[in-house]
Amino acid sequence: MDALQNSFIERQVRRANRNLLLVNLVFLAILLAVVGFNYRYALNFVRGPKDISAQDLLAVQNPEDRPQFFVKVNGEKLLATGFQHVEQKVDESTNKVESETVKYDYKALRIGSRLLLVKAPGAATATAYSGALQKDSESTDVIAQLEQSTPEIKGMFLPFVLDTVDYRDGGYWGLGIGIPVLLLVLWNVKKWLTRTADRSAHPIIKKLRSYGEPEQLSFEIENEIAQAPLSVGSALITRSWIFAPNYFGLKMARLGDAVWIYKKVTKHSYNFIPTGKTYSALLWSRSGESLEIAMKQNKVDEIIQTVAQSAPWVIAGFNNDIQALWNTNRAALFQAIDERKAKLSGAQSSSAHA
């Protein structure tokens, strides 16, 4: 692999490896930042609810001051309050309520001489609950309304609520998203380590090897690049090759194997409303593989024109008959390409002798 050092191919390998590492380090940093910003919640989620005595619970003024706010509470009696949290599905055009769902009830759990507001399922009758001690505007409003309607209980409610319904939902969502992302990051870092330690394991080198010995081909490519190749956008076209770098790799095709190139137009729409078009040059090779390069329309046209000039035997432009041959009788298509090559070679030989 010594011949690949500092060559175009080696620079592309290093660039792709660097980008692979950087992107995954960014994902890892985001994961760590999310955990860091939600450290208190994450710690409580992992530990799970812990027993809290009635004495300690009654002494709490603000749950935010407690490191452990996921708790197990044992009360003496559960009382209905008549308040429910109802979620409505509303027709936006008419503001008509189409359906209602009771998500949870507000219960009052007696703890000694005080009452603890509890978010619990409507059918709940137990006196022991696990949940998160929280302060929120809805529960504060419920307590205020209860005290207004029943003045004799004023001051009996603790100034927070025990959420037994969905206090862990955020953690489960975080695990559902974070674990796959973390596994993906670790898998990609492992790929980076492998490709850094062994250049032959890199997809760019593997692709180059499909055309021949990588060191020799790299040397030939370097010589062609030294002869002022044509750059079209990010694409690079030499006498024998076309290259199109992407963020994590390098697309390549040898022009000697090229058969057909045409412009691919993709129409985009949202809710059946056209939003625009994207363009790409699509190059098909004898191997059956395609090389697609997405660019602005004028750049795509330039790539097609340049390839057609560099490899004049290539069929340029889309044609339904060519598509049918490609799908059903490639041998005939390849034979036609070979005949065109032979004629061009003969014409060049005759010109040289003249």
pLDDT of residue 95: 80
Is residue 354 pLDDT above 80, yes or no?
no
DSSP 8-state class, residue 238: -
pLDDT of residue 99: 83
Q: What is the mean pLDDT of the chain?
A: 90
pLDDT of residue 348: 58
Split at pLDDT 50, 70, 90, the class of 97 is confident
Q: Which residue, chain included where needed, has tokens 């619970």?
A: 57
CA distances from 89 to 93, 95, 96, 120 (A): 12, 9, 9, 22
Reported as half-sphere exposure (CB side, CA atoms, 13 A), residue 205 has a value of 19
- Comparing 118-122, 126-130, 190-194, 212-216, which segment has the lowest mean pLDDT? 118-122
- pLDDT digits 0-9 by tens, 303-339: 999 999 999 999 999 989 999 999 999 999 999 999 9
The residue among 247, 244, 249, 250 whose CA lies nearest residue 231 is 244
What are the backbone dihedrals phi and psi of residue 111, each rounded to the nearest 5 degrees, phi first?
-125, 100
Q: How do beta strands 315-316 and 258-270 pair? A: parallel
For the record, the structure tokens of 25 come out as 């380090």
The rounded distance, in Å, linking the Cα atoms of 27 and 189 is 11
> Taking a C-beta distance cutoff of 8 angstroms, is the pair 254, 269 a contact?
no
Q: Which residue, chain included where needed, has tokens 């799908």?
A: 327
Q: What percent of the chain has pLDDT over 70?
A: 96
Is residue 352 pLDDT above 60, yes or no?
no
Contacts of 180 (CB under 8 A, 6+ apart): none
Q: Which residues make beta-bridge pairs with 132?
A: 70, 163
pLDDT of residue 323: 93
Mean pLDDT of 256-281: 91
Listed in sequence order, the DSSP H helices in the chain are 8-37, 39-47, 54-59, 137-149, 169-197, 203-209, 214-225, 297-310, 320-328, 330-353
pLDDT of residue 350: 55
Q: Which CATH architecture has domain 227-353?
A: Roll (2.30)
- pLDDT digits 0-9 by tens, 2-24: 545 689 999 999 999 999 999 99
pLDDT of residue 1: 46
Domain range summary for the chain, segments of one domain joined by +:
1-202, 227-353
Contacts of 36 (CB under 8 A, 6+ apart): none
The rounded distance, in Å, linking the Cα atoms of 187 and 305 is 41
Is residue 186 pLDDT above 90, yes or no?
yes
Is residue 347 pLDDT above 90, yes or no?
no
Supply the pTM of this predicted model: 0.76
Split at pLDDT 50, 70, 90, the class of 351 is low
pLDDT of residue 3: 47
Is residue 272 pLDDT above 60, yes or no?
yes
For the record, the structure tokens of 261 come out as 């190139």
The rounded distance, in Å, linking the Cα atoms of 50 and 69 is 8
- pLDDT digits 0-9 by tens, 195-247: 999 999 999 999 999 999 999 999 999 999 988 788 998 899 999 999 999 99
Q: DSSP 3-state assignment of 251?
A: strand
Is residue 59 pLDDT above 80, yes or no?
yes
pLDDT of residue 92: 79
Mean pLDDT of 22-42: 94
Q: Which residue, chain included where needed, has tokens 């302060």?
A: 135
